[in-house]
């Protein structure tokens, strides 16, 4: 009789332990799953939206070679082949020092600029165990013009040729839509005209909408706090692009009111207006190795 009772107790215990163990294991697995962090990928297609910086950057040892080209104004008419007889180019190469820090060099034909920059990722949009609503990066650039000053009476030393740009890049991806806000500060040691400002504040607003796995559209706008008493009429730069990605290449067809391509010139020296039809076509080609 005792053996029968003991056997019954053992069977009952096993029956209780088994479901409890299954429940515990399931709970542990759920807990482990909830503790993973999912990082947001491909907020933008490349390191730049159109002319300005995006929140993206290269992985460690990654290399990005980019060619940007802008033609003349469509207003120039058939004598200038609607701007195609005129051109401005900007060549850049960027390198990933780490997964969070990127450096780059560039050369622009406009103002004969030589540029250098650094970008550091401070926060990365994520969900799960670590939830961060936005990606936050800092970008800093320096440029030097190598062309001869037209006014011989102005200070022609090397320091006068330098300009500095700093940006905070705040981005968030909403499924197919990505938004970037970029507060910007620009300092120019020597301005083009005496009534121009050495220091400019600007606010960039950019967006990307994914149409398909290979196509997207991008918009980039900068509001610039230009001095109202300047003798030169400056306008806020607005650029649109249709992007196509294949393998490690990104191709963009661009429409913009900015003749310049380098960030400091786009923000500080756009003298063309969309409202007056003073826009130009162009393209960007980026290859990542």
Confidence (pLDDT) at 35: 78
Question: Which residue stretches of the chain have pLDDT < 70?
Answer: 1-34, 151-155
Q: Tell me, yes or no, if the pTM score tops 0.75.
A: yes
**Of 61, 67, 41, which Cα lies nearest the Cα of 287?**
67
Confidence (pLDDT) at 17: 41
What would be the CATH architecture of the domain defined by 36-288?
Answer: Beta Barrel (2.40)
Instruction: Give whole-number Cα distances, 126 to 76, 137, 217, in Å.
Output: 48, 14, 24
Confidence (pLDDT) at 155: 67
Mark 15-43 as b/e (b = at least 16 C-beta within 10 Å).
eeeeeeeeeeeeeeeeeeeeeeeeebeeb
Mark 182-199 as b/e (b = at least 16 C-beta within 10 Å).
bebebebebbeeeebbee
């Amino acid at each position: 009789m005792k053996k029968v009772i003991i056997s019954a107790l053992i069977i009952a215990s096993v029956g209780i332990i088994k479901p409890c163990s299954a429940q515990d294991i399931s709970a542990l697995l759920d807990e482990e799953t909830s503790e993973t962090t999912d990082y947001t990928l491909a907020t933008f297609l490349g390191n730049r939206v159109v002319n300005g910086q995006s929140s993206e950057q290269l992985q460690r040892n990654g290399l990005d070679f980019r060619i940007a080209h802008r033609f003349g104004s469509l207003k120039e008419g058939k004598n200038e082949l609607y701007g195609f007889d005129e051109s401005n180019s900007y060549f850049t190469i960027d390198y990933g020092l780490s997964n969070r820090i990127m450096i780059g060099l560039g050369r622009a034909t406009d103002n004969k600029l030589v540029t250098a920059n650094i970008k550091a990722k401070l926060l990365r949009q994520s969900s799960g165990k670590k939830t961060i609503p936005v990606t936050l990066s800092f970008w800093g650039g320096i440029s030097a013009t190598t062309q001869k000053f037209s006014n011989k009476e102005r200070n022609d030393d090397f320091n006068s040729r330098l300009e500095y740009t700093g940006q905070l890049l705040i981005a968030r991806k909403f499924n197919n839509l990505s938004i970037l806000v970029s507060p910007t500060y620009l300092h120019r040691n020597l301005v083009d005209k005496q009534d121009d400002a050495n220091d400019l504040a600007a606010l960039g607003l950019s967006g990307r909408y994914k149409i398909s796995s290979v196509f997207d559209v991008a918009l980039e706008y900068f509001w610039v706090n230009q001095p109202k008493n300047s003798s030169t009429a400056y306008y806020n730069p607005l650029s649109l692009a249709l992007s196509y990605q294949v393998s490690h290449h990104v191709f963009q067809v661009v429409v913009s009111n900015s003749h310049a391509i380098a960030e400091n010139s786009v923000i500080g020296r756009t003298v063309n207006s969309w409202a007056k039809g003073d826009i130009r076509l162009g393209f960007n080609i980026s290859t990542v190795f």
